[in-house]
Amino acid sequence: MKLHGKSITGFIALALVIAFQNCSPSGTPDSKSQTEQTLASLRQSGGGGGYDGKIYLNYDLDKECSNGSLVRTAFQLRDGKMFQVRDACVDTQPTEVNAAEFALEAHNPGFGTFANKLFQLDEGTQTYAKVFCRGQQEASRQKATNKVDVWIDQESQGKLFGKIVIGRYNDNGELTDSFTGQGAEVSQSSKNGKSYFAAPEVEGRRLQLVVDPITMKGRFISVGSMNALHRTFSQPVRPGVQPSTPDFGNDPEVIGEMEAVRVTEMDCFMHGGSISD
């Protein structure tokens, strides 16, 4: 979904500057504690509705910054505009980037992509997406398209979990339904230069994500059904509207199962680091 924001007000611009008054000068590595303080300050300044004010982080999961932080790059969403607030391990004064180039989708706004890198919503957890893939398929419903997101979460203890979210969009590009599949622990293996993430087959159900680390293309298949949460939006979420606005839709309801999903071509993205097991 392309973000088209209103003109940012002088107050918001001033608030962003104040949030960074205690940052180290550009080009100077900051301390890990200062990085955490800066992120905390940004979280407090992000008091807008929906996802306004939220921070998106790109990590390097193989190599820490010189101060011990894993956060290499950070962006903050403000009044529909996107600002870069950290670059190459250094906190910077907020710099606006083309929001249309920072790809966010209404069905899964916890992830964004920019310059072929993965950015993850800052939720203060120790869970990182090892790889994130997005593709689409024609929905069974006429004139609808399913956008399918599959990613592998890597928890602090090293366990891997496969997760899936599907957004159903009508012919006008409006989000009408979303489905969140129950996550499953997966194992990783390599074959013919590709990375395979698979959940053990249980009662005829099987999940598998295959990623080519050279082309960063992937394919996904789920055989059988899986438990899922379903949300129907009372008003379709229109293109250009900030995602997750509170008065859209209803509380998610548990549905018995999600039908089998197959996506033969997906674009995949990572934080910094290697996909190898």
Q: Is the pLDDT of residue 81 over 90?
A: no
Residue 6, amino acid: K
H-run or E-run covering 151:
strand 145-154
pTM of the model: 0.78
Which parts of the chain fold into alpha helices (H)? 10-19, 32-45
For residue range 136-192, list pLDDT tens digits in order.
986 666 678 899 999 999 887 889 999 999 998 988 888 888 888 877 899 999 999
* pLDDT confidence of residue 226: 64
> What integer pLDDT is reported at residue 47 of this predicted model?
44
Q: For residue 29, is pLDDT > 60? A: no
* Cβ contact 147:107 at 8 Å: yes
**d(Cα 44, Cα 108) in Å, to the nearest integer?**
23
**Greater confidence, 197 or 47?**
197
Contacts of 33 (CB under 8 A, 6+ apart): none
For 186-207, the pLDDT digits (tens) are 999 999 999 999 988 776 677 8
The residues near 27 (Cβ < 8 Å, ≥ 6 apart) are 90
Terminal-to-terminal C-alpha distance of the chain: 32
pLDDT at 51 over 50: yes
If one counts every other C-beta atom within 10 angstroms of the C-beta of residue 51, the result is 20
